[in-house]
Chain A
Amino acid sequence: MSFESTLTVRVRRWRDRAFLALSLLCLALSLVALAALVGDLASNGLPRIDRAFLTSFPSRFASEAGLLAAWVGSLFVILVTAALAIPIGIAAGVYLEEYAPKNLWTNCLEVAMANLAGVPSIVFGLMALGLFVYRFGLGQSVLTAGLTLGLLVLPIVVVATRESLRAIPGYIREASFAVGGSKWQTIRHHVLPYSTGGILTGVIVAVSRALGETAPLVTVGALTFITFLPTSVMDPFTVLPIQMFNWVSRPQEDFHANAAAAGVLLLLLTLSLNGVALCLRYRSRKRVHW
C-alpha cells in the first residue's frame, strides 16, 4: 500500500475494487447473520405461539408453560421506566443544550452523562440491589425494576433530545426573543415543539432498549416462576427477557422452543419499535427544511 506511485494504475484500481468486494462481503455476512438469527427463532418459536401460550402462567411442563406473567410484568415495568426516563431525560437534555454555561461544573455533567451511557447494564443492577432494594427498602418490586431501567435508558433520551435541539437553527430562537419571548417561552413554544420528532425517536429507542434488558433485572432479583399478576408497583415481577433467559438455561429441548417463542415476541416488539423510530427520524429529516 505504501508506494502507490510505483504501482500501475491497473493494480491500484484492482485494489480499490477488491476492497469494495470485501466490504460488500462484510455487509452481506452481517445481514445474513441477522437473517439467520430471525429465521432460527421464527422456525423454532412460531409454532409454539398460540392463545394459551400468551394467557398461561409458567409451569414445570414446557407444553403448559406460558408468558402471561412475563408480558404483563414487562408492561408494568416499562410504564414505570417511561414515567421516570422521559420527563427527566428531556429536562436534562434541555438544560444541557439551552441553559448550561460552559464551565467546569457543566463539564462534569457532560462527562458523567457520557460515562452513564457506557456503564455496563449489570452495574446498574448492582447499584439498584444495594440502593433501591436494601437501603431504600423498595424490595424486589416492579418499582425497583422500573427505576433501574429508567436510569439505564436516561442517557438515550438525553442524547436524542440534545441532538434534535441542536438541529434547530439559532434564528428561530432569536425571532422569539425579538418579539419579547423569554427563554422558557422560546423553548416551550418554539424549540421543543419543532424537535418533537427527534425526541420521540429517542424515547422509542429507549423504551425498546428497556424492554429487552435482562442483566440488571436478574441482579435486582426478578423471579422466574410467578403465578399471579402484579397489581401494584410494589409487587414482585418477571419480564419477557427474564422468562426467556430462564427457559433457554434449562437443559430440556421443549423449554428451548418456549424460549424461542418468547424471543420471537421480544424481537417483534423491539424491531418494530425501532422500525417506527427509524421512519420517524427519516420523515422528520425529510420534511423540515430550515
Chain B
Amino acid sequence: MRFRRRQGLRLEGLIEAGLALAAFLAVAVTLGIAGTLLWEALPFFREIGVAPLFGTEWAPLFAAPRYGLLPLLSGTLVITAIALLVSVPVGTILAIYLSEYAPSRAREILKPALELLSAVPTVVYGYFALLFVTPLLRRFLPDLGAFNMLSAGLVMGLMIVPYVSSLAEDAMRSVPMALREASYAMGATRLETSVRVVVPAAFSGLVSAYVLAVSRAVGETMVVAIAAGMQPNLSLDPRDPAQTVTSYIVQVTLGDLPHGSIGYQTIFVAGLSLFFVTLAFNIGGHFLRRRYREAY
C-alpha cells in the first residue's frame, strides 16, 4: 500500500511537470519570436545602421537602395486610422445595444451572428475589398484607384467590429446590476444609464478593447496586401495606394528570397518594429482588462 502510494505521488509530480512544460511553451515561443527577429535583423543594423530608417523613401531591393521606413509607416497609420474610425464607434454602439438594450433572446441570436463576421478568413475579406467594395466606392469617387487605402481600411474596420463589440460588451456586462438599478431608480433612461453609469464603470475594459483593436489593425496583413496595392507611398490621402509594414513582408516573401540577403534582413527589421508596437499594445490591453476584472 505504501509502495503504491509513493508511486502515485511520483506520477502526480511527473504530470504536473509535464503540464507546466506545456504552459512554459508560451514563454518559449515569445522569446523565440523576439530572439529570431533580433538575430536575423542584426546584420542589417550592423551594415546599414539605424539612421537610414528615418528616410522618406523605401526601396530596399533597388540597385541604389533606400531604407526609409516612413512610407510603410504612413500606409500603416492611414489604414489603421480608417479601420478604427469604423470599428470603434460601431463596435461600441453595438456593445451598448447588446449589453443594455437587447432583450436576452435577441442577444442570443445576434451575438453569434456577429461572431461569424470574425470567422471569415482574412483573404476572403481581401477579395471583398478589392472586387466588391472598391468598385462600389468608385461609383461615388470616380478618381479612386483600383488599389487604395480607403477600401482596405473600411473592410478591415468591418472585420474588427465584432472583436471590439465582444470585448466591450464583456466589460459592460461585468458592471454590477446594482449600479444600473440605482440609476434607473433615479428616473434615468437606458441611454443615460449606459453613457453616464455603465460606460464610465467599464471604462478600463473599453479602453483595453480599443487598444487590442489597434494592435489587430496594425498587424493585419491580407486585406492590405490584396486591396491597397504594393507600392510604398508616402501619402496620407486614403484614395492613394500604399504599402504597409505587413504587406511589404508579403511582397518580399512571395518572391524568391535568398537566406541572409539584404531583402531577407529587411523583412525581419519590418517584423521587429511590428512585434514591438503590438507587444506594447497587447501588454497594455492585458493589464487594463485585468483591472476591470478585479474591480467588482
Q: Which residues of A contact B126 (CB under 8 A)?
A: 245, 248
Chain A proximity of B240: nearest CB distance (Å): 19
Interchain CB contact (< 8 A) of A212 among B26, B122, B216 = B122
Whether B23 contacts A100 by the Cβ 8 Å rule is: yes
Residues of B within 8 A of A221 (CB): 253, 257
A24 to chain B, nearest CB (A): 7
A266 and B124 in contact, given A123-B37, A184-B15 (Cβ under 8 angstroms):
yes
> Which of the segments B53-61, B64-72, B90-98, B174-182 contacts the partner chain?
B90-98
**Contact partners of B119 in chain A: CB under 8 A:** 205, 208, 212, 270-271, 273-274
Known: A88-B25, A95-B20, A120-B219. A245 touches B123 (CB 8 A): yes
Over the window 226-268 of chain B, the binary record of Cβ atoms lying under 8 Å from chain A Cβ atoms (1 yes, 0 no) is 1000000000000000000010011001100101000000011
A134 surroundings in chain B (CB, below 8 A): 259
Contact: B116 with A27, CB < 8 Å? no
Q: Is A56 an interface residue (CB 8 A)?
A: no
Which residue in B18, B24, B26, B32 is a CB contact (below 8 Å) of A127?
B32
CA distance A89 to B267 in the complex (A): 29
A140: shortest Cβ distance to chain B, in Å?
Answer: 10
CA distance A22 to B101 in the complex (A): 12
> A248 to chain B: which residues have CB within 8 Å?
123, 126-127, 130-131, 226
Q: Interface code B105-118, partner A: CB below 8 Å = 1, 0 otherwise?
A: 00010101111110
B191 touches A26 (CB 8 A): no
Contacts of B127 in A (CB 8 A): 41, 244, 248, 259-260, 263
Given A4-B188, A23-B97, A245-B226, CB of A219 within 8 Å of CB of B249: yes
Q: Does B141 contact A (CB under 8 A)?
A: no
Decide if B26 touches A91 in the complex (CB within 8 Å). no
- Chain A residues with CB under 8 Å of B278's CB are 118-120, 123
Q: Is A142 engaged at the interface, CB distance under 8 Å to the other chain?
A: no
B178-194, CB < 8 A from A: 188-192, 194
A31 beta carbon closer than 8 Å to chain B: yes
Minimum C-beta distance from B105 to chain A (A) = 13
**Given the known A-B contacts A120-B246, A260-B127, are A154 and B253 also in contact in the complex, defined by CB atoms under 8 Å?**
no
When the two chains form their complex, are residues A213 and B132 in contact, meaning their CB atoms are under 8 A apart? no
Contact with A along B19-34 (1 / 0, CB 8 A): 1101111110110110
Q: Which of A26, A130, A271, A282 has the most CB of B within 10 A?
A: A130
Q: Are A244 and B124 in contact (CB under 8 A)?
A: yes
- A263, B94: Cβ atoms closer than 8 Å: no
- B85 at the A interface (CB under 8 A): no
Which residues of A sit under 8 angstroms from B15, Cβ to Cβ? 184
User: B37 touching A91 by the CB < 8 A rule?
Assistant: no
* B52 on interface, CB distance cutoff 8 Å: no
Q: Shortest CB–CB separation between residue B113 and chain A, in angstroms? A: 6
Which residues of B have CB within 8 Å of A99?
A: 16, 19-20
Instruction: Choose among A40, A109, A112, A211 the residue that contacts B132 (Cβ–Cβ < 8 A).
Output: A40
Given the known A-B contacts A30-B117, A122-B246, A123-B275, are A214 and B122 also in contact in the complex, defined by CB atoms under 8 Å?
yes
Beta-carbon contact of A244 and B123 below 8 Å: yes
CB of A235, distance to nearest CB on chain B (Å): 19
Least distance between A195 CB and chain B CB atoms (Å)? 15
Q: Given known contacts A114-B286, A115-B30, A248-B226, is B123 in contact with A274 (CB within 8 Å)?
A: no
Cβ-defined contact, A24 with B97, below 8 A? yes
Residue contact A91 to B132, C-beta cutoff 8 Å: no
Residue B166, interface by CB 8 Å: no
> Are the C-beta atoms of A26 and B221 separated by less than 8 Å?
no
Shortest CB distance B84–A (Å): 15
Q: Which residues of chain A come closer than 8 Å to B225, judged between CB atoms?
A: 215, 245
Of A1, A33, A221, the most chain B CB neighbours within 10 A belong to A33
Using Cβ atoms and an 8 Å threshold, which residues of chain B touch A110? 286
Contact across chains for A115 and B121 when beta carbons are under 8 A apart: no
A236 touches B (CB below 8 Å): no
**What are 24 contact pairs spanning A and B, CB under 8 A?**
A1-B195, A20-B190, A31-B114, A33-B117, A36-B132, A87-B22, A88-B25, A91-B22, A92-B26, A99-B16, A108-B27, A113-B26, A114-B285, A118-B278, A118-B281, A122-B271, A123-B274, A130-B37, A130-B40, A151-B29, A154-B25, A245-B123, A248-B126, A266-B121
Interfacial residues, chain A to chain B (CB-CB below 8 A): 1, 4, 12-13, 15-16, 19-20, 22-24, 26-27, 29-31, 33-34, 36-37, 40-41, 44, 87-89, 91-92, 94-96, 99-100, 108-127, 129-131, 134-135, 151, 154-155, 158, 182-184, 205, 208, 211-215, 218-219, 221, 241, 244-245, 248-249, 256, 259-260, 263, 266-267, 270-271, 273-275, 278, 282
With contacts A113-B26, A116-B29 known, what are 13 further pairs, Cβ within 8 A?
A: A23-B93, A92-B22, A92-B23, A96-B23, A109-B26, A118-B212, A119-B278, A184-B16, A245-B126, A245-B226, A259-B127, A263-B123, A266-B123
